[in-house]
């Protein structure tokens, strides 16, 4: 009888992805909790707060605030912050996605 050959390549990929995710989490924890963690936390809060304020300022300037217009404003402001040196592209994109999720709350205020 011939034994079936087991393909371990997918399990190797899963292990590699798991290890990569673990290392990324460790790096993030060191970044925010390490020796300069307080400064990094302060910087992250600072640019995130400024980005939210910029979105609000653009909303006030807009004549017609619809969901597509709001999403476009958030994307425009996010692109500006992606080019900055204090915030990483991934963090800016995550904040932009979070702001877009709050459209229902914002639409009630508008």
* pLDDT single digits (tens) 53-101: 999 899 889 888 889 999 999 999 999 988 877 778 888 898 999 999 9
CA distances (Å), origin 75, targets 17, 89, 100: 29, 12, 9
| pLDDT 10s digits, 41-51 | 777 788 888 99
Taking the model in full, what pTM does it have? 0.62
Structural domain count of the chain: 1
* Domain contains 99: yes
* Domain contains 26: no
* Residue 71 domain boundaries: 36-109
* Domain contains 49: yes
What is the spatial distance between Cα 104 and Cα 89, in angstroms, rounded to a whole number?
25
């Amino acid at each position: 009888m011939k034994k079936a050959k087991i393909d371990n390549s997918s399990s190797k990929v899963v292990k590699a992805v798991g290890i990569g995710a673990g290392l990324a989490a460790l790096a993030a924890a060191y970044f925010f909790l390490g020796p300069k963690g307080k400064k990094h936390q302060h910087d992250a809060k600072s640019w995130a707060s400024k980005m939210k304020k910029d979105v609000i300022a653009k909303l006030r300037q807009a004549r017609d605030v619809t969901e597509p217009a709001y999403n476009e404003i958030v994307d425009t402001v996010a692109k500006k912050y992606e080019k900055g040196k204090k915030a990483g592209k991934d963090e800016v994109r995550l904040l932009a996605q979070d702001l877009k999720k709050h459209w229902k709350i914002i639409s009630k205020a508008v």
